[in-house]
Structure 1
Amino acid sequence: MRKIIHIDMDAFFASVEQRDNPEYRNIPLAVGFDGPRGVVSTASYEARKFGVRSAMPIAQAKRRCPHLTIVMPRMKVYKEVSGQVREIFHQYTDLVEPLSLDEAFLDVTDNKFGMESALEIASEIRAKIFEQTQLTASVGVSYNKFLAKISSDMNKPNGIFVVNPEEALDFIAELPIEKFWGVGPKTAQTMHRMGIFKGEQLRAVSLMHLTQVFGKSGQIYYDFVRGIDTRVVEPERERKSVGCEETFLEDIHSETKLIIELYHIVLQLVERLTLNGFEGRTLTLKIKWDATSQHTKSITVNNVLRTKEDILPLAKRLLKETNRQGRAVRLLGLTVSSPANDKRSDYRQEVWEEGTLDFLD
């Protein structure tokens, strides 16, 4: 049986700011650009009590918390602290899979100290993180990535939660469907209409029905609710892209609604770029009309794509250039690729690529 740990630094950017600036401690704090188009990157736990969340427009955050303090991100500092934390991980295992600057999976089955208890390893890692960085982390421990990830959210902030194999099915049965990895708000709404609110109700749905409704994801939900996740922890590799996408509950016909959805996807993408410290110069739009085909269109530019101002105009242009012919849209996604440290000469000009990929959902 594998021993998997998921570690999530608590309110990472905000916590670093509160550590380095005593005047920010114990007050509602948000990291982000304080302007009319600014977005919250990370909110402190004091701010979260007022409903301030990541990816929320700064203006909305201020309405929810009028006394909110906002500070600009210091990515160089966050990357340095993240490096310190990863060095601690590698003291125990080389099987470390970073998901972002503040989050990672560790496979400690065959760890460097020959320790039998994954809980003991997790406790030591948390203690070392605090000792060396004065920051806290929440940790989940289980036998696969799905359960370890879910577990790390159960005792936030600054806690540990363990799901052992013999208790996994009972734990999953009581898990709200919104807690399942991969179930977003729209998927949760669909499940609610199907009478699925907890794991035990999801487990009662056949694989055939789940795949009919959710496509490939149906198999994933079917496995997860049975405690099955065969994905391995993949050691750190150079990230080639960062992206996000949204499958709509109902197909969108309106151009105005499509632009609104595109805007929200851009905000999500900017947040992920910031969290991962990724810099790229190619933007790809993915658009799906039906269950059997998808269309992609890309543009590569000279400048690094970091902000909403960088990305949104290009995203609108890509959307306009797609040959929709009045067809309704069921999925929309954006990806930034071509890492900035790649010195290929095609960055000197805009490069348009277009293609359609047939596949079964």
Structure 2
Amino acid sequence: MAPSPAADPRVLAHVDMDAYYVEVELLTQPELRGRKIIVAADSGRSVVLSASYEARVDGVRSAMPLSRARQASPHAIVLPPHMERYREISRQIMAYFDTITDAVEQLSVDEAFLDLTGSRRRLGGPEQIGQKIRREIREQFGLPATVGIADRKFIAKIASTRAKPDGLLLVPPHRRLEFLHTLPVTAMWGVGAKTAQSLEAFGITTVLQLAQTPEPALRRRFGVTGTALHRLAWGEDARAVQPHRIEKSIGAEETFAQDVADDAVLRAELLRLSHRVAARLRESGVSAQGLSLKLRYSDFETLTRSATLTHPTHSALAIYAKMLALLEKLGERSQSVRLIGIRAERLVDDAGGLQLSFDRTETNWVDAESALDAVAKKFPHVQTAPASLLRARREDPGLGDS
């Protein structure tokens, strides 16, 4: 039996910037508007970070290998990414969201949930606020944004997906189930390709079919996932917008232009990635309790190794030391390395975390790294890095950020 719709005054919006990286690039290259554009590092091993809607018509998608994207859309223009610019504009957009509501949950650089419940008296009805957000983002930043509005988080996100590009879709509470039950099951949050295949094998291809399938049957077949999907199919989602969400992990990785067998090159790359990850940890005001090393070999076999730290850290020195230890534990490698990466995990807020290290050396390094952060922020065009990395770049002009 379907749950009876309960009165719910919540008004939640999901704001998603359209083809964000592409649109930011078009701010400085407007003559390219309307062209097929791919944002990716211009190398045979990179992947698509973003694609214009014109390129998407050819089948180009984010995370697709650039080599395959070029085959799908041979006339597309490939633009190199400018990650710091994307992050800076994202910070400005999130600050703008704070003028709309004090309940903003940032999901990534280009999307966020906003709880508009308390903003209605000041700013008007849900649709009026949604149009205001789209208009002011366009006026202030020159960028398009799509807004989905509903009384449930996952429905607001589905609504923004259905309204793309540059649109707005409001799903009022009394039309919640009507909206959901017209959708394919692949539109549901948490239903990826494998889950969709499993559901299809069970005879379920639409949200309506999912809702009409008895929950015990779904639970027997799919476990807790079946129960969760059944509840979502009936519009049950009590999750609130969570302001100031701490990232679950922060990482960085490098895909080499040529496979690498030299330990010295791998150690140098680990040092560079350690500084990138540490700087992002400090920028986010968090420290890592765990770290993981990722290696992908020339035959695409991928290994990960993890370690727990004795105390949380945002020190590049501490991260690098642990990465070297994990690399050494792997022993002699039978293949060259195609990709290497670092991920900081189990993050804790620096304001509430205990720094239990008594190592003065690490403290000195953190002070020095923080000073470099300040220099980089004030002078973004000045290159700051350990001397060994600066020497490596001078000796090898092809070595740079991914």
How many residue pairs end up in the alignment?
287
Residue 379 of structure 2 is matched in structure 1 by none
Q: Deviations over 1:118-150 (max 9, x none)?
A: 111111011100000110001100001011000
How far does residue 207 in structure 1 lie from its aligned partner after superposition? 1.6
Find 1:99's aligned residue among 107, 114, 120.
107
The residue aligned with 1:247 is none
- Aligned partner of residue 196 in structure 2, secondary structure: helix
Supply the distance in 1 between the matched residues of 2:223 and 2:113 (Cα, whole angstroms): 27
Alignment partner of 1:69 out of 73, 77, 95: 77
Structure 1 SS opposite 2:163? coil
RMSD: 3.5
| 237 and 68 in structure 1: CA distance in 2 versus 1, 3 angstrom threshold | same
Residue deviations 1:163-184 (CA, integer Å, cap 9, x gap)? 1111111111111111101000
Work out the CA distance in 2 between the residues paired with 1:43 and 1:172.
28
**Residue 283 of structure 1: aligned partner:** 292
Partner residue of 2:235 out of 227, 240, 247:
227
Q: CA deviation at 1:215?
A: 2.2
- On the 8 A contact 1:88/1:128 being kept in 2, the answer is no
Structure number with greater Rg is 2
Q: Could you tell me how far 1:344 is from its partner in structure 2?
A: 8.6
Give 1:6 shift: 0.3
The aligned amino acid for 2:219 is T
**Is the contact between residue 14 and residue 44 of structure 1 (CA under 8 Å) also seen in structure 2?**
yes
| Aligned mates of 2:143, 2:32 — CA distance in 1 | 14
TM-score by length of 2: 0.64
Q: Which residue identity does 1:131 align to in structure 2?
A: E
1:48 and 2:81 correspond: no
How far is 1:192 from its partner?
Answer: 0.8
Q: Would you say 1:207 and 2:215 are equivalent positions?
A: yes
Measured after TM superposition, the shift of residue 194 of structure 1 is 1.0
Question: Match of 1:6?
Answer: 14
Counterparts of 2:305 and 2:344, CA distance in 1: 12
3-state SS in 1 of match to 2:194: helix
Q: Provide the C-alpha distance between the structure 1 equivalents of 2:49 and 2:209, rounded to a whole number of angstroms.
A: 35
Q: CA deviation at 1:113?
A: 5.2
What letter matches 1:282 in structure 2?
Answer: L
Q: Which amino acid aligns with 2:222?
A: F
| Native 8 Å contact 1:304 1:340 kept in 2 | no
Amino acid at match of 1:283: S
**Aligned-pair distance for 1:64?**
0.3
In the superposition, relative to structure 1, how do residues 340 and 167 fare at CA in structure 2: closer, same or farther (>3 Å)? closer
CA contact (8 A) 1:91 1:112 kept: no
The separation in 1 between residues aligned to 2:46 and 2:195, in whole angstroms, is 28
Structure 1 118/303 Cα, relative in aligned 2: closer, same or farther at 3 Å?
A: farther
CA distance 1:2–1:53, shift in 2 (3 Å) = same
Structure 1 runs (4+) deviating above 6 angstroms are: 277-281, 338-348
State whether residues 176 and 235 of structure 2, in contact with CA within 8 Å, keep that contact through their aligned partners in structure 1: yes
Deviations 1:43-80 (A, max 9, x none): 11111111110000000000001112112211111112
8 Å CA contact retained: 1:88, 1:125: no
- Structure 2: state its 5+ residue gaps: 1-8, 252-275, 283-287, 295-303, 310-314, 334-341, 363-402
SS at match of 1:40: coil
Deviations 1:173-209 (A, max 9, x none): 1111111010000000011111111111001112222
Change in CA separation of 1:72 and 1:95 when aligned onto 2, cut-off 3 Å? same
**Amino acid in structure 2 at the alignment position of 1:168:** R
In the alignment, what sits opposite 2:269? Answer: none
Task: Tell me which amino acid in the other structure corresponds to 2:236.
Answer: I
Q: What is the rounded CA distance, in whole Å, between the counterparts of 1:298 and 1:212 in structure 2? A: 34
Equivalent residue, structure 1, for 2:88: 80
Name whichever structure is richer in strand by fraction: 1
**Aligned partner of 2:25 among 17, 26, 31:** 17
Letter in 1 for 2:97: F
Cα separation, partners in 2 of 1:304 and 1:178, compared to 1, 3 Å: farther
Moved more, 44-53 or 15-24: 15-24
Partner of 2:134: 126
Contact 2:104–2:113 (8 Å) recurs in 1: yes
- Aligned-pair distance for 1:302? 5.4
Question: Paired residue for 2:386?
Answer: none
Is residue 246–residue 347 contact of structure 2 (8 Å, CA) maintained in 1?
A: no
In structure 1, stretches of 5+ residues that fail to align are: 244-272, 286-295, 321-333, 349-361
**Once structures 1 and 2 are overlaid, which stretch shifts more, 89-98 or 68-77?**
68-77
Residue aligning to 1:184: 192
Letter in 1 for 2:230: Y
Aligned-partner Cα distance in 1 for 2:44–2:162: 35
1:223 offset after TM fit, Å? 1.1
Answer whether contact 2:105 2:112 (CA < 8 A) is retained.
Answer: yes
Q: How many angstroms apart in 2 are the aligned matches of 1:194 and 1:67?
A: 42
Correspondences of 1:1-361 after superposition (within 5 Å):
1-111=9-119, 114-241=122-249, 282-283=291-292, 298-299=306-307, 336-337=344-345
Find the residue that maps to 2:42 and give its secondary structure: coil
Query: How far off its partner does 1:338 sit?
Result: 6.6
CA distance 1:32–1:278, change in 2 (3 Å): farther
- Give the partner amino acid of 2:234: R
CA gap of 1:336–1:209, structure 2 versus 1, over 3 A, is farther
